[in-house]
Amino acid sequence: MSQSQSQSQSDAARTPRPETTAAKGTGVPGGHGTSAAGVTITGLHKSFGDNEVLKGIDMSVAPGEVVCLIGASGSGKSTLLRCVNRLETPNAGTITVGEHEATHPDVNLDAMRRQIGMVFQQFNLFPHLSVLENCTITPRRVLGQSKAEAETEALAQLDAVGLEHLSERRPDQLSGGQQQRVAIARALTMKPQLMLFDEPTSALDPETVGDVLASMRKLAQAGMTMLVVTHEMGFAREVADRVVFMDQGLVVEEGPAAAVIGDPQQPRTQDFLRRVLHPLGE
Ligand SMILES: Nc1ncnc2c1ncn2[C@@H]1O[C@H](COP(=O)(O)OP(=O)(O)OP(=O)(O)O)[C@@H](O)[C@H]1O
Ligand SMILES: [Mg+2]
């Protein structure tokens, strides 16, 4: 698909997002009145040995906002996401998630991580559990929900991603795209206030990508705060409020999705988008 085709299609499909904070969170599939948490990152540095991967990142995601993070392989996108929920410990800088300061020595990591749902390229479902059990095990163990309560919630989230009818299957009886939608539903059963996605569709067969992106779009329209690492430029144009382009550990360009993707100003952004949108150099 050419860039202009993809632009006109995504412009046509663009759907207004809820504007009021009153609407935020209440429309999240299976809605619980969960409020949305924002993220603020200031002066973030992260090194692995001598390799400085993040070289002073400043960026934010407002409550209810959807930010797509794009950039070449190795530019530090996954490391940035992993710092947000403290799967990595930054060397310098501050990160706040809602009321939690992720980088504070006394941060309550369990409480902070309960606010954050994360969906990875690999879905990491428990292979020996049914879809429903995958979605109820953590709410039961961590939130102390009863079996009935957890199942009601899980079925509502599975319904929202179109998979309620497959709740008794095991993960290996599902397509990759279906498994990824289960992973999204599973994350949502914990009632997160922020969702982090790290290339959720890049391991999928092309024909299953659309259903996963549709579930993510629905979540965005319901007011979830989302930070999404993706190479899906059509999705970014249509769904993201803002796009951030990273290169070699720094934010090089950011702005409204249509501007950054449709009319990038920085040479490195232009070069990256040319390679992503026209991989054969056409
Ligand atoms: N745990 C680790 N130990 C050592 N080096 C690491 C570790 N995690 C990441 N790196 C290095 O940090 C750099 C950035 O990696 P990162 O995975 O954040 O990039 P990325 O932008 O997500 O790339 P991709 O698009 O390929 O997923 C790479 O050079 C990588 O080798
Ligand atoms: Mg990565």
pLDDT digits (tens, 9 = 90+) for 51-60: 999 999 999 9
Tokens in use for 16?
């207004």
For residue 75, the ligand 1 atom closest to its alpha carbon is 21
Residue 48, ligand 1, Cβ within 6 A = yes
- In the sheet that holds 225-229, the strands lie side by side as 116-119, 194-198, 225-229, 66-71, 242-247, 250-256
Section 161-179 average pLDDT: 96
Give the model's pLDDT for residue 282.
Answer: 73
Q: Tell me: pLDDT of 169 over 50.
A: yes
Distance 98 CA to ligand 2 centre (A): 24
Whether 249 lines ligand 1, by a CB cut-off of 6 Å, is no
Q: How far apart are CA 131 and CA 119, in angstroms?
A: 16
Q: Tell me the HSE value of 239 on the side-chain side, using a 13 A CA sphere.
A: 28
Question: Worst-scoring range by mean pLDDT, 17-26, 27-36, 138-147, 168-177?
Answer: 17-26
For the chain, give the number of residues: 282
User: Residue 91's pLDDT is what?
Assistant: 96
* Helical (H) or strand (E) element with 44: strand 39-48
Residue 135 has pLDDT above 70, yes or no: yes
| Beta bridge mates, 101 | 96
Average model confidence (pLDDT) across the chain: 88
Kindly tell me if the per-residue pLDDT of 233 is higher than 50. Answer: yes
Ligand 1 centroid from CA 99, angstroms = 28
In percent, the amount of the chain with pLDDT more than 70 equals: 88
- What's the 21 CA to ligand 2 centre distance in angstroms? 31
Please give the pLDDT value at position 255: 97
Confidence label for 34 from pLDDT (cuts 50, 70 and 90)? low
pLDDT tens for residues 71-106?
Answer: 999 999 999 999 999 999 999 999 999 999 999 999
Cα(182)–Cα(167) distance, rounded to whole angstroms? Answer: 9
**pLDDT for the residue numbered 279:** 83
Q: Of the ranges 23-37, 70-84, 208-222, which one carries the lowest mean pLDDT score?
A: 23-37
Ligand 1 site, residue 115, Cβ cutoff 6 A = no
Average pLDDT over residues 148-163: 96
Say yes or no to pLDDT of 18 above 60. no
Burial of 257 (0-12, 13-18, 19+ CB in 10 A): buried
Return the structure tokens found at 111.
């409480």
For residue 11, what pLDDT is reported?
A: 38
Q: Is the CB of 87 under 6 A from ligand 1?
A: no
Judged by DSSP in three states, 72 sits in coil
**Domains, the chain, ordered by start:** 39-126+194-277 (3.40.50.300)
Q: Give Cα separations from 251 to 17, 42, 58, 96, 200 (angstroms).
A: 26, 12, 7, 18, 21
User: What percent of the chain clears pLDDT 90, i.e. is strictly above it?
Assistant: 82
Q: Which residue has the higher pLDDT, 278 or 167?
A: 167
pLDDT at residue 278, as a whole number: 87
Strand partners of residue 95: 41
Q: Give dist(CA 158, CA 149) in Å, integer.
A: 14
Q: How confident is the model at residue 280 (pLDDT cuts 50, 70, 90)?
A: confident
What's the 75 CA to ligand 2 centre distance in angstroms? 8
Alpha carbon distance 279, 145 (integer Å): 48
Would you state the pLDDT for residue 35? 72
Judge if the beta carbon of residue 74 lies within 6 A of ligand 1.
yes
pLDDT(19) > 90: no
Reported as type and span, the H/E element at residue 253 is: strand 250-256
Which tokens sit at 192? 């997160």
Q: Please give the number of the atom of ligand 1 that sits closest to the Cα of 82.
A: 18
**How far does the centroid of ligand 1 lie from the alpha carbon of residue 175, in Å?**
28
